[in-house]
Structure 1
């Protein structure tokens, strides 16, 4: 019960308005559960009727297409029993069987979309790290390379400018840009902004001019970082969706490595004529090359079918989906299901609000957990190395070329060790990986699945803004921290935050691995004191069981009594909401 726990009382108070908020949220939570399968429970005949009406309503008149929707609707209602559906040909059955047994076998167009989305991530990684090597040279040319408080703060401000712009402006442009321009259009505009900003940075001649150019870069980073994973998810078949969404983090790590490689490759470039600092200018401009490639390729792929549906253009959505699937019944199935899901989302999205995010215990616990992981993704300190590794190695008396080479080595390690996180996140669990380390993909994945669907857009907006803001804070403060406390002292500061992060994860983050939407409601709808008590018990159990090898029972998560044995855990693929 909401009033059974003192910590919950402090957070949501025992007044009548709090109970009113909770009672108003219950229907929204119940409707949100329907989003896990909005067609569940419908009989095959009813699905056929609905499909026929759908075709009549939207002007789909070809017999082949009508048949595809009639069969596709039945598949959407119960995808696991396609063998029992009347009218499917042997050839179609073979394709559906291949879809189950070989989820990576898909049309080339789908993989072209994946490649372009991966290229977008690579551009983002380069945008973030080419400055790593360049700053070692432009800071002296622009007169901000000293140890004074003025110089260190200005250097941090210039380096962190894109992330400040992302947090304050860029992230909040995602929705209007997607509504007006579509997924492809948003990506194209973001890449054009990146191209202009990269070249602009290369022709600046003072620190404040470079600061403005880097701020402009943030207008491309923010909307692109939200749109690209969403685009991939909306085009992917259900069994592949989670893997493709998580590709964003992996290829961003590849772009980070590529940024270091560009810095190293351009180190020997001499000044030419009156161009002073040509090498750092080329370093900053180098990120424009993959952006040009991405901007040119994005129009060769179809628009997101989900975006067409949102714009009430189902024929175009179906045509787009047909290019991404082998046979028409697959395309019709996914369009019919997506349309039903979109209508279900519209029925509950209007109920969502910040007040409900903070006053409803289930939502509030998810919000606290999400903010913790997004905050610690930055304050674990790993991005300090990503943005300032060259400066750190120079401070350790490395030569310039050796410092750039060491930075490249860090980039390679960062990319290589991003791979195990993808293989283990559904094996070891989010909570265990976070307690052991803070791999990049975990906070984003955790935040995406923690919220109920009806409030997820608001929750993810907060999560994204949080990570970009603290990203900026990290970038702007490091030069001053390093100058004041030396590298050892500054890293000790972040070591301390990692200890705090470990405690926060241990006490406030329930495990979300392998749970359905209904189960996640039970996982998060528990008193805060129960989460804290479980964290303490688990910590004691670990030491007794794993360290001292004692035979002690493992503590039971606080949500277990609510779930019991009535549901078999499934792997949850976060649903995609309109930007």
Structure 2
């Protein structure tokens, strides 16, 4: 029973499931088989091209692939006879890398290298480890740039005369200074990613952004007015914005397939490490006394300390190879091959990965459909659903309230003390130590996320952790009702406990999921535009959160301010339940299927999961889960004739 759909989504597999499945769910075990649709000529073109991106080498024989590899190497004058042979075999391997045993022409040594690659995926050439170190340290630069201000603001606010929380203007100025880099990221920085990468390459962009970070961090240590500090921190956004988009791309383009996902995921983990290191620097310089002619030497050293990891990155970034894909986008195939060879043990591995990149680039270049790609994000239903889900998780990454803790935790802990105690050196040290503890937890619990995100699933992680994050926020806010008479340590302890619990649940869920989800949800031909939008969204709301917190805390009191973000966690849970499909373990073709289910139907499906969960896990009834998608093997070649399937 098939029906045409005038609003057929591109690239995707389906429309509404058959209604009789819903009516007779118990007879069919709730297995929904989607309908097939034709769509317009433009939609069929997009579907065919997008399907081709899923595996551009599918359907070719080994002999055809061998000839293609040889022609590619000869045409582009890559290497000698040994290299031409490598591309002949590499093209065959690229079709299905895991089936290397069936590829003819491999030597015993090459077979051993390929077996070792799949059995010991973290055994890589030293150059690959150098790249991993570069990406990890660049992420740490990012985290440290964000959090050294946490402890510094305890001191510079008094020096600049903006410390009075009862004066609204002081609160807004404090928030503006703190949030200045993220305003720059949202308005300018993120949008410089494309031209910077085009002009300077991946390594060049990382170098330039770290130069920006180092100079502006040093600059922050020499300011003497709040508006001067605002300008310096605004300039820091030119380092944060393009770097946050470029480093994960560089990691993905240089890593072998077996560790690509794990390496890209480590951006979040090492950013969390940098956040922790920023707190450590605040604590280390806390008691540095002023010297002759220098007022506030401690907070100046705190802000300036973030320049050192950036300088280290600048010193060795060019010892790493450039991204082979960037060279290929410039038609520099010989240099791309040299770069790839330095990142792999054997030439056949390098030729395999390079030839697959080449075929993907050719398929992407063929997507000249005449429509603005930003409009494609909105006008094409499949893309629009991916954009909605991506924007939800990116928005909630900020409005769950995490960066309130990242940027203001030291002040929050000081708020738990009496007016007298918060001015004492001992309690200020306790507040900075408590911030360091939060940073340590945020980093440590980001490590298992590398495993859980691909086993437990993106959607399940968020649905499980958001209620716990809300409870942690409520607990943190309500801790401020502990009477001061019971002792400052009791209130500080409960406040710290609430923030620590929030950090645990955030680090395994909403911390790693948004960037991973946004990077995989969009089809390749609009992915760079979708990621630019996603990155700009997270920095924009990062700015909103950072600038409003001082005023929000004063107006609502800590109890109400934390409850405000707890409420957003609850609201975000409902958005995720209804509008965020699961993407774990899906190929590009399968993601087209996922995002082709109508928004209305997926929302209803999400709501139906609530009674299912209650019956199965609370009442312990033997109910069967509803299967939203069912693989339809008969549709395997429908993309070639312009059909959609779910």
1:404 matched residue in structure 2: 432
Structure of larger gyration radius: 2
**Where do 5+ consecutive residues of structure 2 fail to align?**
9-36, 466-508, 637-646
Matched, 1:374 2:402: no
Matched, 1:417 2:445: yes
Matches of 2:40 and 2:569, distance apart in 1:
35
Matches of 2:5 and 2:239, distance apart in 1:
43
Matched, 1:106 2:124: yes
TM-score with structure 2 setting the length: 0.83
Matched, 1:510 2:581: yes
2:56 matched residue in structure 1: 38
> 1:556 Cα deviation (Å)?
2.6
Tell me: CA distance 1:73–1:565, structure 2 relative to 1, closer, same or farther (3 Å): closer
Matches of 1:82 and 1:512, distance apart in 2:
27
Q: Of the candidates 448, 454, 463, which is equivalent to residue 426 of structure 1?
A: 454
> 1:61 Cα deviation (Å)?
4.8
Matches of 1:304 and 1:427, distance apart in 2:
29
Tell me: CA distance 1:567–1:99, structure 2 relative to 1, closer, same or farther (3 Å): farther
> 1:457 Cα deviation (Å)?
1.5
2:381 matched residue in structure 1: 361
1:77 matched residue in structure 2: 95
Matched, 1:189 2:208: yes
What is the DSSP-based 3-state SS (H/G/I as helix, E as strand, rest coil) of the residue aligned with 2:289? Answer: coil
What is the DSSP-based 3-state SS (H/G/I as helix, E as strand, rest coil) of the residue aligned with 1:98? Answer: helix
Matched, 1:129 2:200: no
Matches of 1:74 and 1:450, distance apart in 2:
28
Deviates more, 1:20-29 or 1:465-474: 20-29
Matched, 1:214 2:242: no
> 1:356 Cα deviation (Å)?
2.3
Matches of 1:52 and 1:285, distance apart in 2:
54
Determine if contact 1:232/1:245 at 8 Å carries over to the other structure. yes
Q: Deviations over 1:281-310 (max 9, x none)?
A: 000000001111111010111111111101
Q: Of the candidates 319, 322, 341, which is equivalent to residue 322 of structure 1?
A: 341
> 1:567 Cα deviation (Å)?
9.6
1:275 matched residue in structure 2: 294
Matches of 2:112 and 2:551, distance apart in 1:
63
Q: Deviations over 1:224-265 (max 9, x none)?
A: 011111111111111111010011000000000000000001
2:104 matched residue in structure 1: 86
**Where do 5+ consecutive residues of structure 1 fail to align?**
6-18, 569-579
1:14-413 equivalences under 5 Å are 24-147=42-165, 148-348=167-367, 351=371, 353-397=373-417, 399-413=427-441
2:480 matched residue in structure 1: none
Deviates more, 1:210-219 or 1:20-29: 20-29
Matches of 2:234 and 2:38, distance apart in 1:
44
Determine if contact 1:29/1:452 at 8 Å carries over to the other structure. no
> 1:364 Cα deviation (Å)?
1.1
Deviates more, 1:97-106 or 1:69-78: 69-78
What is the DSSP-based 3-state SS (H/G/I as helix, E as strand, rest coil) of the residue aligned with 1:515? Answer: coil
Determine if contact 1:21/1:356 at 8 Å carries over to the other structure. no
Q: Deviations over 1:413-441 (max 9, x none)?
A: 11111122221111111111111224311
Determine if contact 1:22/1:359 at 8 Å carries over to the other structure. no
Q: Deviations over 1:80-125 (max 9, x none)?
A: 3322333211111100110111111110100110001100000100
Deviates more, 1:369-378 or 1:520-529: 520-529
TM-score with structure 1 setting the length: 0.92
Matches of 1:335 and 1:507, distance apart in 2:
40
Determine if contact 1:2/1:361 at 8 Å carries over to the other structure. no
Matches of 1:533 and 1:565, distance apart in 2:
26
> 1:60 Cα deviation (Å)?
2.5
> 1:450 Cα deviation (Å)?
1.1
Deviates more, 1:488-497 or 1:76-85: 76-85
> 1:46 Cα deviation (Å)?
1.4
1:13 matched residue in structure 2: none
Alignment length (residue pairs) = 552
> 1:158 Cα deviation (Å)?
0.4
Matches of 1:426 and 1:201, distance apart in 2:
40
Matches of 1:70 and 1:123, distance apart in 2:
42
RMSD of aligned alpha carbons: 1.9
What is the DSSP-based 3-state SS (H/G/I as helix, E as strand, rest coil) of the residue aligned with 1:269? Answer: coil
Determine if contact 2:179/2:546 at 8 Å carries over to the other structure. yes
Matches of 2:378 and 2:442, distance apart in 1:
36
Q: Deviations over 1:455-510 (max 9, x none)?
A: 21121111111001000001000000111111111001101111110000011111
Q: Deviations over 1:373-412 (max 9, x none)?
A: 0000000011110010001011111521110000001001
